[in-house]
Structure 1
Amino acid sequence: MKPGHFTAAKRQKQPDIPGRQNRLLLWLKRNLCASPLQIALTIIALLLILYSIVPFIRWALIDAVWQGENRHACTTLLQGGLRADNWSGACWAFVRANFSQFIYGFYPVAERWRVIATFALALLTAVPLLTPAVPHKFINAGIALILVPLIGGVLLVGGVFGLPFVDTSLWGGLMVTLIIAYCSIILSLPLGIMLALGRRCKMAALRLFCVAFIELLRGIPLVALLFIASVLFPLFLPQGMNFDKFLRALIAVALFTSVYIAETIRGGLQAVPKSQYEAAASLGFTYPFAMAFILLPQAVRLVIPALVNVLIGMFKETSLVYIISMYDLLGIVRSASMQANWITPQTPATGLIFAGLVFWFFCFALSLYARFLENYSKRERAA
């Protein structure tokens, strides 16, 4: 047999795997069934998923109650309700009946258009700011980070331009969670960058102040900081002077987040090669211009995952304002589940799952955006 015939026969025996097999099946073979150990671990994982997921799906969807006006729709006959004695399922009727309260809290119904207008304005200005391809970022940033909070504050609080005054004690639900998160990001990002730069500053007094500020706040739990802002801070104010509790809580969350952002940015600045500093100096850039246009953008790009992790943690920790009697999404859900006309064994769990899904949605969206930024920056460097 000629060498060419042997080579041709060998090629015929090799299957064209990408062309003949399903890609999904190929992925399963490579990642889940590549060895006997992987096969065993895959089977164990599937059994655990089935053991936990199937009962949850049955409780949350199949046996759930979707319609009802009060607790009788979600209680058994022995409890004075309408369900079978052995019934156990989610009470989504409770979420449906209180949905508007979960979103707006106790904000007056006739004035809720102001909340919708504020969030619509924030969304319309945030989209061009967060889209890398859109130009004029400084103008977008000024509108989204300065103008929108001012207009939103006027709309939500009122008392001017013929708008009825709405006290912050009536605010609640997802509205409070998003306001605290949005404003905390606006305040904590620039403050964290300044603290990071101050900690690397050659001026001893400024560096020591930034180090002391970061280490002090980083060593205090957010719960304690909220208590200090809510209970202790008013004691140091002059007699007759009042400071809104909502604003105090917002500043406490922003300060707490800023110290973690500062350490994240400082890590990014240390990861920037020293040659970049030298190149900026050789081009005649002053320190502020070099930091603003060359070094800081590279540092932020390097720490996008860590920075998003800090912001996600801040978003979830906004639920701690419940301990100072501020009804954010989690607080309003827990409060509503104790209503006399909705007290059932299934109501608290159903409400908490609803709140968890809402938090997961926003955190997952933030993670997807961070992944988009990473991919975009890689494409920009490759180009």
Structure 2
Amino acid sequence: MNDGLPTTFVRQELVSERPAPVKTTGLVGFLRTRLFNSPTNILVTIICALLLGVVLVPAIKFLLIDAVWRGTDRNACLQENAGRVVGACWPFIQAKFGQFIYGFYPEPERWRVNLTFLLAAVLLLPLLIPRLPAKGLNAGLFFLAFPVVAFFLLHGGGLDGFALSWITSLLSGFNDSIGEGGHKLAMAGETTAVLGPLLWLLGKLIMAVSLVISWLLYPLVWLRDAIQAAGRPVWIDLLLTAVIVSALLFVLGGGMRTGWRPLIMSLATFAGIGLVIAIMGLDRGGLPVVDTRLWGGLLVTLVVSVTGIVASMPVGIALALGRRSTIPLIRIFSIAFIEVWRGVPLITVLFFATYMLPLFVPTGITIDGLMRALIGIALFAGAYQAEVVRGGLAAIPRGQGEAANALGLSWWKTTFLIVLPQALRHVIPGLVNSFIALFKDTSLVSIVALFDLLGQLRAAFADPVWSTPTTAFTGFAFVGLVYFMFCFGMSRYSLFVENRLNAHRRN
């Protein structure tokens, strides 16, 4: 009997040891929890390991173990000369490496391509590192200044004028085309029986409009001719353009009250432009001209892909916003543009841009073949980007815009400061997926006589000095590794940006 008092139990034996906890970290933990945690996963893991063995082992054997690393011609990569099974013929890549990078760019001028690549890396890397300051200045230099400098570095040539001369020549060319079209229409009306009087009247009306425009353009034409007749037309045109643009920015920026900052920024920009012109000697003819038909290899691949990616983004954003517009004309135009450009293959776009685009430009203006391809690719990619961006805009709750309106923000500020940044954050995977697809689609420019990296590889196969059974496999393996490196880099960086922007959503 315990008489209500608590009893005490003292164990006479030690408790047996508990089993060690299952390790869930490290390599062993990863294998146990991810690969071998169930019968199904064990079976899938074994099958995947067998598939990797079937694919990777022969690939590594071909690319590294059985590969030939030294040689001066095809004889080094022939099995009867090597005395063993021959894998990749890497001397072929070494011999054609310059062609793969520069195409047929003249060797004495290839330093210009190297300098362009270096400038691109110097301006792009700080832009990709979030913690570095001066992102606005860096972006302005990369997206605005660098393309101009890269053009004159790669293409060469100089300037015979500046903005006033170019704008006047462009407007005059358009006006001449309008007048010529009206003249042809009037001539057609004189020989047409049914609609002849109507066509003749319409042609004469167009000619009259062209004549009025020419009178309005006469002061600009006179000023352009006076600038060209001067001893240093580039500097005079630059000075006049700087004065006019800076004055407009000063007035539109608030005048004496708040217009000083736009004025200083404008003057500093034109001073930088003048410094670049002086350093590169653009007022004295610049560097020797290298026709774009001599460009090729990785140079063309990067030029086409980077230009297409950068130019397609503003086109896509504008079309996405236009498709959601409440103005019927803008909405119908945006929908028609997107559906037409998405409804045709890229090959058709390239053919159209190469062979039909010159028919739509004003008289006396020629567009380089590479530039035509760039315009077509940018518009084609912009139509696809528009739908990606529109998906992001649709994901933003309507309350965001209503709250901004309640605070008194305009449509522009609401869109570009509140709605659009959130929409782009939602569609980063889709955008990068389009970028990767565009980077790989640059190989299609070879059908319009532009030899990108893949086109240069095919041209290199025609060299009988390196004709071996393994040359083609080696070349395609090398090009595939280059494409994978760029595409994988874009994919991983997009994942980094996505995780960084969505850090506030983590639990």
TM-score by length of 2: 0.70
For 2:313, the equivalent position in structure 1 comes to 189
Indicate yes or no: 2:36 matched with 1:65: no
The alignment partner of 2:287 has SS state of coil
1-structure distance, mates of 2:426, 2:448:
37
Counterpart of 1:140 (choices 113, 138, 146) is: 138
1:324/1:14 CA distance change after superposition, 3 Å: same
Counterpart of 2:303 (choices 174, 179, 183) is: 179
For 1:17, the equivalent position in structure 2 comes to 22
Q: Quick one: which amino acid aligns to residue 305 of structure 2?
A: A
Map 1:191-210; keep pairs closer than 5 Å: 191-210=315-334
Q: Which runs of 5+ in 2 are unaligned?
A: 1-6, 159-280
2-structure distance, mates of 1:228, 1:2:
96
1-structure distance, mates of 2:399, 2:449:
52
The alignment partner of 2:451 has SS state of coil
For 1:242, the equivalent position in structure 2 comes to 366
CA-to-aligned-CA distance 1:164-214 (integer Å, 9 cap, x gap) = 110001101101111111111221111111111111111000000000000
1:282 Cα deviation (Å)? 1.3
The answer to whether the Cα contact below 8 Å between 2:312 and 2:385 also exists between their aligned partners in 1 is yes
1:236 Cα deviation (Å)? 4.8
1:104/1:257 CA distance change after superposition, 3 Å: same
Map 1:1-383; keep pairs closer than 5 Å: 12-18=17-23, 23-77=26-80, 82-84=81-83, 87-160=85-158, 161=281, 162-236=286-360, 241-379=365-503
The answer to whether the Cα contact below 8 Å between 2:68 and 2:86 also exists between their aligned partners in 1 is no
2-structure distance, mates of 1:348, 1:41:
34
The answer to whether the Cα contact below 8 Å between 1:334 and 1:352 also exists between their aligned partners in 2 is no
Cα RMSD (Å) of the superposition? 2.3
Q: Which runs of 5+ in 1 are unaligned?
A: none
The alignment partner of 2:296 has SS state of coil
The alignment partner of 2:420 has SS state of helix
1-structure distance, mates of 2:130, 2:417:
16
Percent identity of paired positions between Structure 1 and Structure 2: 46
Q: Quick one: which amino acid aligns to residue 83 of structure 1?
A: A
2-structure distance, mates of 1:266, 1:259:
11
Q: Quick one: which amino acid aligns to residue 434 of structure 2?
A: V
1:331/1:9 CA distance change after superposition, 3 Å: farther
CA-to-aligned-CA distance 1:339-377 (integer Å, 9 cap, x gap) = 111111211111111011001000111111101111211
1:248 Cα deviation (Å)? 0.7
The answer to whether the Cα contact below 8 Å between 2:63 and 2:88 also exists between their aligned partners in 1 is yes
For 2:203, the equivalent position in structure 1 comes to none
Whichever of the two has the greater Rg, that structure is: 2
The answer to whether the Cα contact below 8 Å between 1:198 and 1:210 also exists between their aligned partners in 2 is yes
1:4/1:62 CA distance change after superposition, 3 Å: farther
1-structure distance, mates of 2:79, 2:34:
47
Q: Quick one: which amino acid aligns to residue 106 of structure 2?
A: P
Q: Quick one: which amino acid aligns to residue 149 of structure 1?
A: P
1:131 Cα deviation (Å)? 2.7
2-structure distance, mates of 1:3, 1:65:
80
1-structure distance, mates of 2:292, 2:9:
86
Number of residues of Structure 1 aligned to a counterpart in Structure 2: 373
Greater Cα offset, 207-216 or 41-50:
41-50
TM-score by length of 1: 0.91
1:171/1:367 CA distance change after superposition, 3 Å: same
CA-to-aligned-CA distance 1:88-108 (integer Å, 9 cap, x gap) = 411111001111111111111
